[in-house]
Copies of this chain bind each other. A is one copy, B any other.
Amino acid sequence: MSLSAQISWVAVDWGTSHLRVWLMDSANTVLAGRQSTDGMSRLATNEYGDALYRLVPELDGRKQIPVICCGMVGSRQGWAEAPYAQAPCKPLGIDAATCLQDGALNVRILPGVKQMSPPDVMRGEETQIAGFLEAHSGFDGVICLPGTHSKWVHISAGEIVSFRTFMTGEMFDLLGRQSVLRHSIAEDGWDVNAFESALSDALSRPGDIAARLFSLRAAQLVGDQSPQTARAKLSGLLVGIELAAARPYWLGQPIAIIGADALAQIYADALVAQGGAVTRVSGLDITLQGLCAAYSQIKENTE
């Protein structure tokens, strides 16, 4: 049987800068996984279908294939707006998904989650959380999703109780690459001791952050601080103030960190050093698990 004929449905993680798809058979086995850089920021509303066909030409000629999407694809500037569910709520609502028909594609876009006070939003992370809860249904604690915009999410009784977003990754990029600090900060390289020391300083005195940043530049001008040390220190300071402000979330709670990369390891190490009880889970797999859970709900609804 051709790959095209085997495809039962398509799982799609569609963010601002990436498009990831998994071609799935009826038993939820992955037939193929693919990705491109056709993220939301590059696409006009009427270009999403074409972008998907480009990445999965096997869809050509197939009819009424379910396509289940999560992420920024559901924002106002995306393919179609999928209004937010409001926390506290369960993380996944296929019944609340936005449906659209694009050629032969039968598309459902999962809703994000919003919080009124303090104001916050997520799109995509709720699907990772749903995937995590599929495998850890009794989990009661806090989920940390490190990244460009890190999220801390309090989970209880299968619901997103509350959450908070931190712009740590974006701040690191802006300060390290576009501010005056860029002259003193390397594009890569690391200094473990500098990171740990900066993290510890920022965790114990986060209110001093405003005074510490320019020193990363000055320490090279008046001393001999290396650009790799400066890079690790900037990361330590920013992760430190995030962990300090997120303390009400993680203190005394089981912590699940979603993410398998070096960044997730940094968070795990820092939290363990603070006495945290940390579990780590791969982020990509977990998004797929969340999309599979949504597909199962559709099948239940229609069977």
- Residues of chain A touching chain B, judged by Cβ–Cβ distance below 8 Å, are 84, 114-116, 118-121, 149, 164-168, 170-171, 174-175, 178-181, 205-215, 217-219, 221-223, 225, 238, 241-242, 244-246
Inter-chain contact A218/B179, CB cutoff 8 Å: no
CA distance A268 to B194 in the complex (A): 36
Contact A167 B214 (CB under 8 A): yes
Given A119-B223, A178-B174, also A167-B244 (CB < 8 A): no
Which 6 residue pairs are nearest across A and B when measured between Cβ atoms? A206-B207, A119-B219, A119-B218, A165-B214, A211-B245, A210-B245
- In the assembly, what is the distance between CA of A222 and CA of B242, in Å? 23
CA gap between A217 and B217 in the complex, in Å: 29
Distance in angstroms from A232 CB to nearest chain B CB is 16
Please pick, from B171, B218, B225, the residue contacting A120 in the complex, using a CB distance under 8 A.
Answer: B218
| B178-A241 in contact (CB<8A) | no
Nearest opposing residue in chain B for A148, CB measure: B180
Residues of B within 8 A of A213 (CB): 166-167
Q: Which residues of B contact A222 (CB under 8 A)?
A: 84, 114-116, 119-121
Specify the chain B residue showing the minimal Cβ separation from A219. Answer: B119
B174–A207 CB distance below 8 A = no
Say how far A34's CB is from chain B's closest CB, in angstroms: 27
Q: Is the CB of B211 within 8 A of A246?
A: yes
Residues of chain B with a CB closer than 8 A to A120's CB = 214-215, 218, 222
Q: Give chain B residues whose Cβ lies under 8 Å from the Cβ of A218.
A: 114-115, 118-121, 165
Known contacts A119-B218, A119-B225, A210-B241, then 19 further A-B pairs from the complex at CB < 8 Å, ordered by chain A residue: A84-B221, A84-B222, A118-B212, A120-B215, A120-B222, A121-B218, A166-B214, A167-B210, A167-B213, A168-B210, A171-B179, A174-B174, A205-B207, A206-B207, A207-B207, A207-B241, A208-B245, A210-B242, A210-B246
Contacts of A244 on B, CB cut-off 8 Å?
Answer: 207, 210
Nearest residue (CB) in B for A240 is B210
From residue A285, how far is it (CB to closest CB) to chain B in Å? 26
Which chain B residue has the least Cβ–Cβ distance from A214? B165
Note all chain B residues with C-beta closer than 8 A to A238.
Answer: 210
| Residue of B116, B174, B223, B241 touching A223 (CB-CB under 8 A) | B116
A297 CA to B140 CA in the complex, in Å?
A: 72
Contact B121 A221 (CB under 8 A): yes
| CB closest residue in chain B, given A183 | B77
Specify which chain B residues have a CB less than 8 angstroms from the CB of A245 in the assembled complex.
207-211
- Chain B residues with Cβ below 8 Å from A175 are 171, 174
In the assembled complex, the Cα of A62 lies from the Cα of B14 at a distance in Å of 67
Question: How far does the alpha carbon of A215 sit from the alpha carbon of B118 in the complex, in Å?
Answer: 7
Is B116 a contact of A209 with CB atoms below 8 Å?
no
Interface-centre pick from A119, A175, A206 (highest chain B CB count, 10 A): A119
| Complex-state Cα separation, A168 to B245, whole angstroms | 20
Instruction: State the CA gap A178–B167 with chains docked (Å).
Output: 13
In the complex, the answer to whether A211 meets B174 with C-beta atoms within 8 Å is no
